[in-house]
Amino acid sequence: QQKVQQSPESLIVPEGGMASLNCTSSDRNVDYFWWYRQHSGKSPKMLMSIFSNGEKEEGRFTVHLNKASLHTSLHIRDSQPSDSALYLCAALGPNYNVLYFGSGTKLTVEP
């Protein structure tokens, strides 16, 4: 199985602050990354995906990708308590839409 590593394991930011989450794949066959958010006891919900080098922004969320290093990062500006959740990074494998997940970053936004 591929290895997808996420850091940090947990992160605490104040309300209104910036949260930065990291993800790296060790498999060079990966060409697409997904970020999911999972509130406790709920389904993982897709936040953003990226496959091109560079940056993609949607509202308060920005995703970066460096394909040479297979590193992606998710940045949440103006963090809100409702952003508190487990953030999962997934790399798309080469066959039949198989997703390989990291262990996640638990984000806590303190009011």
Partner 1 sequence: GPKVLQIPSHQIIDMGQMVTLNCDPVSNHLYFYWYKQILGQQMEFLVNFYNGKVMEKSKLFKDQFSVERPDGSYFTLKIQPTALEDSAVYFCASSLPGDYAEQFFGPGTRLTVL
Backbone dihedral region of 103: left (phi > 0), alpha (psi from -120 to 50 degrees) or beta?
alpha
Among 30, 34, 72, 105, binds partner 1 (CB under 8 A): 34
Among 19, 35, 36, 73, binds partner 1 (CB under 8 A): 36
Distance CA(79)–CA(40), nearest Å, equals 18
33 touching partner 1, by CB under 8 A: no
The type of residue at 108 is T
Among 18, 42, 52, 55, binds partner 1 (CB under 8 A): 42
70 touching partner 1, by CB under 8 A: no
92 touching partner 1, by CB under 8 A: yes
Q: Considering beta carbons, is residue 64 or 101 the nearer one to partner 1? A: 101
The type of residue at 69 is S
102 touching partner 1, by CB under 8 A: yes
* Cβ neighbours for 99, distance < 8 A, ≥ 6 positions apart: 34, 90, 91, 92, 93
Q: Cβ atoms within 10 A of the Cβ of 38, count?
A: 15
Among 4, 85, 91, 107, binds partner 1 (CB under 8 A): 4
